[in-house]
Amino acid sequence: MKIRITDRAKITPRDQVLALVFSIMAGLFVIGLIFLAFGVNPVFAITKIFAGSFGSLYGFKETITKAIPLILIGVGLTIAFRAKFWNIGAESQLLMGAIFGTWVGLNWGPHLPAPVIIPLMFLAGFIGGAIWGLIPAFFKVKFAINEVISTLMMNYICAEFLTFLIVGPWKGKTKFGFPYTDDLPESAILGLISGSRIHYVTLILAVLTVVILGMIVYKTRFGYEVRVIGENPEAARYAGIDFFRTTLIIMAISGGVAGLAGVGEVAGIHHYLSYPASISSGYGFTAIIVAWLAKLNPFFVIVSGIFFAGILVGGDAIQISLGLPAATVEIFNGTLLVFLIMGDYFLKHKISIER
């Protein structure tokens, strides 16, 4: 018996939907096995996850809250991934945005009204994330340093830098010795939709970003150049597209929007800087799956962002109610990503068995 792998000649939209559905089903099946190993009824656990996130108004509001950073980061990643720039550093681009935004909020906030300070904080956050994204981009175009390694390592540098700030120079006087900064002033704090933690300014910003980046990818010259680079870098060079410049812009955007998410988390939820793991619960990594599930289409990121936010919220719910370990959600997400990527492979290739 032989297994033979050939390229699939034609891929219809129907095949794409089927591949997606099967990947998710297969992923859920394997996740179910893991639940079973923990002695938990898998059907019950998976139902519980989605009931926890979409089944109640409270759960749904929490889902939207967590979808905000996922959508922002995810949509930025679609641009980077389209150009085949594998940005694994969105987690620290978010943190750098949070650091820049917090500095502006803490230092200028007391003297400025909300309509002035809040845009300034987002601007600073964008710049912070963009700088952190530009460094590995520069290394890649200038010295051909693999961006997977460099963006990943930048995460650790930024996390340690943030920790240094909160235990050292930025440690708050009002925090009783805890490693936190002081609270942001009133004017620098984002309003919430009442009865929820949804900071609507960031939500609106996220939706706007999706629309703008969607337009950029499909309608502008820049988006065209990004797609050509991603499809065939040799052809891009031949066509006179400036690889250096385009890659830098891509990473400024991708890092910058992750930075916006960081500002949203601090100014909307936490109100002060604390340990990296509490500012972001791995949003920068989960957003990789969000972008992938959206097939790198910026508009689909809204759907996939809400879906994965739901899993985060539902995961919290089963942690509490079923007593599963905290890593459950990460296993859940990781397993789904593996199956989504496999689904992509089976979509593009045909497997036949010969006897």
Partner 1 sequence: MVKKIEKLEMRGISKSFHGIPANQEIDLTISSGEILGLLGENGAGKTTLMNILYGLYQPEAGEIRINGERVRISSPLESINLGIGMVHQHFMLVDNHTAAENIALGYKQAPFLFPQKKIKDDIVALSKKFNLEIDPLKKIWQLSAGEQQRVEIIKTLFNGADLLILDEPTSVLTPQEAQDLFRVLKDMKAAGHLIILISHKLDEIMDLCDRVTVLQKGRIVGHAQTADVDKSTLARMMVGRDVIFDIQREKMPPSRQVLRVSNVTVNSDKGFPAVKGVSFDIHRNEIFGIAGVSGNGQRELVESITGLRKLVSGKITVNGKDISNQSPRKIYNSGVSHVPEERIKFGIAPGLYLYENAILKQHHLKEYSRNSMLAYGNIKSHARSLVDAFQVLAPSINVQTKDLSGGNIQKLILGREISHEPDLLVASHPTYGLDVGATEYLRKQLLKQRKAGGAVLLVSEDLEEIFELCDRIAVIFQGEFMGILNSDDPQVSDIGLMMAGSLKLPAA
> Footprint of partner 1 on this chain (CB under 8 A)?
2, 4, 9-10, 219-222, 224-225, 227-228, 231-232, 234-240, 242, 354
| CA dist., res. 186 & res. 113, Å (int) | 9
Q: Give least dist CB 239 to partner 1, A.
A: 5
Of 19 and 329, nearer to partner 1 (C-beta) is: 19
Question: Partners of 351 in the beta sheet?
Answer: 5
Q: Give least dist CB 200 to partner 1, A.
A: 30
Q: Give least dist CB 252 to partner 1, A.
A: 16
Q: Give least dist CB 139 to partner 1, A.
A: 22
Q: What are phi and psi of 183, to 5 degrees?
A: -65, 150
Question: What are the b/e assignments for 208-231, b being 16+ CB within 10 Å?
Answer: ebbeebbebbeeeebbebbbbbbe
Of 51 and 347, nearer to partner 1 (C-beta) is: 347
Number of residues that make up the chain: 355
Q: Give least dist CB 129 to partner 1, A.
A: 23
Q: Looking at this protein, which amino acid is placed at residue 287?
A: A
Of 220 and 278, nearer to partner 1 (C-beta) is: 220
Of 164 and 238, nearer to partner 1 (C-beta) is: 238
Of 111 and 350, nearer to partner 1 (C-beta) is: 350
Q: Which two tokens stand for residue 219?
A: 């309608």
Which residues have C-beta within 8 Å of that of residue 304, sequence separation ≥ 6? Answer: 74, 289, 290, 291, 293, 294
Of 175 and 295, nearer to partner 1 (C-beta) is: 295
| CA dist., res. 99 & res. 51, Å (int) | 35
Q: Give least dist CB 228 to partner 1, A.
A: 5
Q: Which of 68, 278, 273, 94 is nearest to 184 (CA)?
A: 273
Of 208 and 235, nearer to partner 1 (C-beta) is: 235
Q: Give least dist CB 72 to partner 1, A.
A: 23
Question: What are the b/e assignments for 280-290, b being 16+ CB within 10 Å?
Answer: bbebbbbbbbb
